[in-house]
Structure 1
């Protein structure tokens, strides 16, 4: 497990971990040797001259004090190493997650990563601080005492040694029998957590549809499954715990019988037998604790395995020799891409000259948003290339690429802070005048004026205290402040009221000026401002040309336009825009 821990964290942590393990082992050995002093102490105490016990008593006291110092130093080292490992793990996990492709976070991975980054990391890294010392003591101290018994009397030593393989066998058997139940319990815990969150988030929909009872049954089933899995896990651990107790008690009984036989035979004295039984009784506690410690170590090992699996996921590769684009035109050359088993783009070729405007129109699932994600390198293409200024985006450093791109999505996420702090994410070092200018261009200043607290108004987690239109204005102001030459917009006005839509469109117009912009939108009127339109369906370009030209052809685009005109809105449109 220590090897896995060091592999996960890196070898720079090997030295403090090894030092901690060495100190804990030394403390456990010293504790076992201090117990060995009980033999001459009790022999003298129950002998003909009890006063001879004083030197041994002093030696025993000194040994106990030395053990206490060693234990304090080893525990302190364990806490310091654990804190260092915890900090290092959080840094490494955060850096690694930031480099993984966005597609990796799909499905249920967000919940898994959330749990892993909280209790999972704490449980795995807590091994050094909280579990390693009692585990080492439970193993090394009894082994040291066993060596003392063998040196004092080989018959008693062999009687105690016979328990060692039995203890090991019980631990291995328990670990194997609990592997399946532990995995099931983790899966059921994760499922129940998801059901609870789902049930709480879906309350408005469920109550409106009158399905609260049905959803409650689903939640109740998941909680019942979690209870049953916990019960099975507990029952699976019970035989191992009882078996370990029986082995330890049997060892103590065997030592008692052998000691009594040797005492009656005259081979050893009663004081020696008493001392050996005291040693055996003292070793019983750490041996019995192995059952509980083993269970906690198995749980920590599982969390460590999950961390190792996440950290073993290959991030997007960085170029050895980064290239810099000469301009900011975009080109998709024979691009193919798939999500899982579904092919999203198939040999698609498009170009957006710097300062040009390209509208991409198509039905839902046609791959429009994927184009934006490939430009930002949220994914790498399966075949072909995406280029900026003639340079493959894979040949650019991630920092250089993202410095040239500002992104505004339909679902805007704001961090729990003030409006100004969320705008400044676009360019943290911007002065106040630049922030105010970006806000004015996005018409965010209107929102600021009517909110209590103004720029210091708290937006809440995810921007919950603002409306959708207000969040979009913050997002556009953030993009304007960044002042990037390439802007990606994804359906930013699809669900806004007319007032906010007008304000957002005004901000978008200012954002597009002088920049290359890639937009996906539902509003068809945006397409009329494009230099060229491409109709995308099934990951392929079906039609392309000017807006008026495509209408005259009467093809797929014209049909979409007629539907949009009849509905008074647009359906599935994407635009790449810049200064024409």
Structure 2
């Protein structure tokens, strides 16, 4: 468990954890040794001269005071280490997530990352602050007491010592039998988190369809699966709980019987037997708490395993000696890319000359957006090459590549802040005049004028307080401010009203001027502005040429745009 924790935290956080564990171990040993003073204390107290117990009582008080101070220091060290590591873990996780390629963020990643970054990290780091001290005490203190009993009477000590491997075997077997069910419960929890997020995001659709009051079947099924998984996890731990309880009770019974037998035979005093039974009782409480602590530790370990797997996910490799291209023409050479076992691009070869505007057209699933993603290196091709200015994107540093590319997506995400803050993401060091100029070029100034707060107006989470067209204008202003030589556009005018579409088109025209542009487009108005058109189907080029040439050809491209022409 500690090794896994240190693996997740990284080597720089190992020393405080090791110091905390060492302090907790010493505290557990001191606690066990302080209880050893109960034997001479009770022997004197129950003997013929009870006054002889006073020195032992003072010694016991002093030993307990030392234990109390150590326990305070150990708990404080645990809390301090826990809060420090929690902050460090969030920084490490955030830095790693920022380095992972954009292509990694798909599928159920939102639910997975939400579950890990939220309650998952708190649960894992809570091991140091809340679970480590009682766990170490539950292991070290009873073991120390067993050796204390062994020192006073080898027969009673040997009987107590036999229980040690039994308890260890029970804990190991319980952990192994629960591992699979705990993992399933964790997986179901991640799925349920994703379904909850999906349910919240689907509210507009559900309400528009008059189904807001209905139960969401996918969420219900996910929660039922989670309930069943948690039930199986609990039942798998039940034999360990029963076994540990039985072992502790059996140990006490054996010590009581053996102690009574030795006392009746005159081989040991009754006071010693009582004292040793008191020590055995002090063993019972921490041992019985192991069941609850172990369950929480298994849950934390499951989170640590997933955190470790996430942190071991390798980002796309960076070249040891990055190459900086001198031009901004684009090229795909026999590029092949597979996702989830399906060939998305199959030997694609095309060239976009510097300053040229290329339109990608084709049916859904043809690989159009994948072309943009490969250019921005959200993924690496399985074979072939993608080049910028004659340089393979894998030979460029990620920062250099992204500095040359401005991307405007169909679905624009804005951060919960002001309009100005969202525009400045394009180039944070831009002065106010440059920001205003970019906003004017994107016709965002029209939106700013009618908003109550103007530039200081808050856009809400994800830009929820703005319309789709207004969000697109912010995105175009951001791209204009970045002033990158390569522009990637992904169906930016789909689902816009005529007024916003006209404004967005005007902004895009200014954005494309003098730049190398690759755009995914379905609208005739957009495609007509392209210098070259490629019709993709099944990850291959079915037709290519200018808009006029393909329209006169009367092939698949012409048929694809025919409804708009009509």
TM-score by length of 2: 0.96
Q: 1:307 aligned to 2:307?
A: yes
Per-residue displacement from partner, 1:163-187 (whole Å, max 9, x unpaired)? 1122122212322332333233333
Gap change, CA 1:196 and 1:16, over 3 Å in 2: closer
Q: 1:546 aligned to 2:563?
A: no
Q: How far does residue 383 in structure 1 lie from its aligned partner after superposition?
A: 1.1
Q: Which moved more, 1:530-539 or 1:464-473?
A: 530-539
Q: Which moved more, 1:350-359 or 1:230-239?
A: 230-239
Per-residue displacement from partner, 1:99-140 (whole Å, max 9, x unpaired)? 223332222122011111111111112111111111110000
Per-residue displacement from partner, 1:170-217 (whole Å, max 9, x unpaired)? 212322332333233333333444444444443444455466677445
Q: Which residue of 2 aligns with 1:145?
A: 145
Using the alignment, how far apart are the partners of 1:490 and 1:359 within structure 2? 10
Q: Which residue of 2 aligns with 1:496?
A: 496
**Counterparts of residues 272-287 of structure 1 (less than 5 Å):** 272-287=272-287
Q: How far does residue 446 in structure 1 lie from its aligned partner after superposition?
A: 0.7
Q: 1:21 aligned to 2:21?
A: yes
Q: Which residue of 2 aligns with 1:571?
A: none
Using the alignment, how far apart are the partners of 2:274 and 2:9 within structure 1? 48
**Deviation >6 Å, runs of 4+:** none
Using the alignment, how far apart are the partners of 2:201 and 2:10 within structure 1? 40
- What secondary structure, in the 3-state scheme, does the structure 1 residue paired with 2:328 have? coil
Q: Which residue of 1 aligns with 2:110?
A: 110
- What secondary structure, in the 3-state scheme, does the structure 1 residue paired with 2:528 have? helix
Q: How far does residue 12 in structure 1 lie from its aligned partner after superposition?
A: 1.7
Gap change, CA 1:440 and 1:212, over 3 Å in 2: closer
**Counterparts of residues 28-427 of structure 1 (less than 5 Å):** 28-206=28-206, 208-209=208-209, 215-427=215-427
- What secondary structure, in the 3-state scheme, does the structure 2 residue paired with 1:52 have? helix
Q: How far does residue 70 in structure 1 lie from its aligned partner after superposition?
A: 1.2
Q: Which moved more, 1:239-248 or 1:409-418?
A: 239-248
Whether the 8 Å contact between 2:111 and 2:197 is mirrored in structure 1 is no
- What secondary structure, in the 3-state scheme, does the structure 2 residue paired with 1:529 have? coil
Using the alignment, how far apart are the partners of 1:91 and 1:195 within structure 2? 27
Whether the 8 Å contact between 2:115 and 2:193 is mirrored in structure 1 is no
- What secondary structure, in the 3-state scheme, does the structure 1 residue paired with 2:263 have? helix
Whether the 8 Å contact between 1:346 and 1:539 is mirrored in structure 2 is yes
- What secondary structure, in the 3-state scheme, does the structure 2 residue paired with 1:124 have? helix
Using the alignment, how far apart are the partners of 2:69 and 2:126 within structure 1? 22
- What secondary structure, in the 3-state scheme, does the structure 1 residue paired with 2:429 have? coil
TM-score by length of 1: 0.94
Per-residue displacement from partner, 1:133-170 (whole Å, max 9, x unpaired)? 11110000011111111111000101111211221222
Using the alignment, how far apart are the partners of 1:234 and 1:8 within structure 2? 27
Q: Which residue of 2 aligns with 1:430?
A: 430
Per-residue displacement from partner, 1:283-304 (whole Å, max 9, x unpaired)? 1110110000000010011111
Per-residue displacement from partner, 1:399-435 (whole Å, max 9, x unpaired)? 1111111111000000111111111111112111111
- What secondary structure, in the 3-state scheme, does the structure 2 residue paired with 1:336 have? strand
Using the alignment, how far apart are the partners of 1:134 and 1:457 within structure 2? 51
Aligned-residue RMSD, C-alpha? 1.8
Using the alignment, how far apart are the partners of 1:550 and 1:558 within structure 2? 6
- What secondary structure, in the 3-state scheme, does the structure 2 residue paired with 1:162 have? helix
Per-residue displacement from partner, 1:463-494 (whole Å, max 9, x unpaired)? 11100000000001111111111111110001
Give structure 1 stretches of 5+ with no counterpart. Answer: 567-580
Whether the 8 Å contact between 1:337 and 1:343 is mirrored in structure 2 is yes
Using the alignment, how far apart are the partners of 2:409 and 2:336 within structure 1? 23
Whether the 8 Å contact between 2:186 and 2:302 is mirrored in structure 1 is no
Using the alignment, how far apart are the partners of 1:81 and 1:385 within structure 2? 47
Using the alignment, how far apart are the partners of 2:509 and 2:200 within structure 1? 39
- What secondary structure, in the 3-state scheme, does the structure 2 residue paired with 1:230 have? helix
Whether the 8 Å contact between 1:493 and 1:522 is mirrored in structure 2 is no
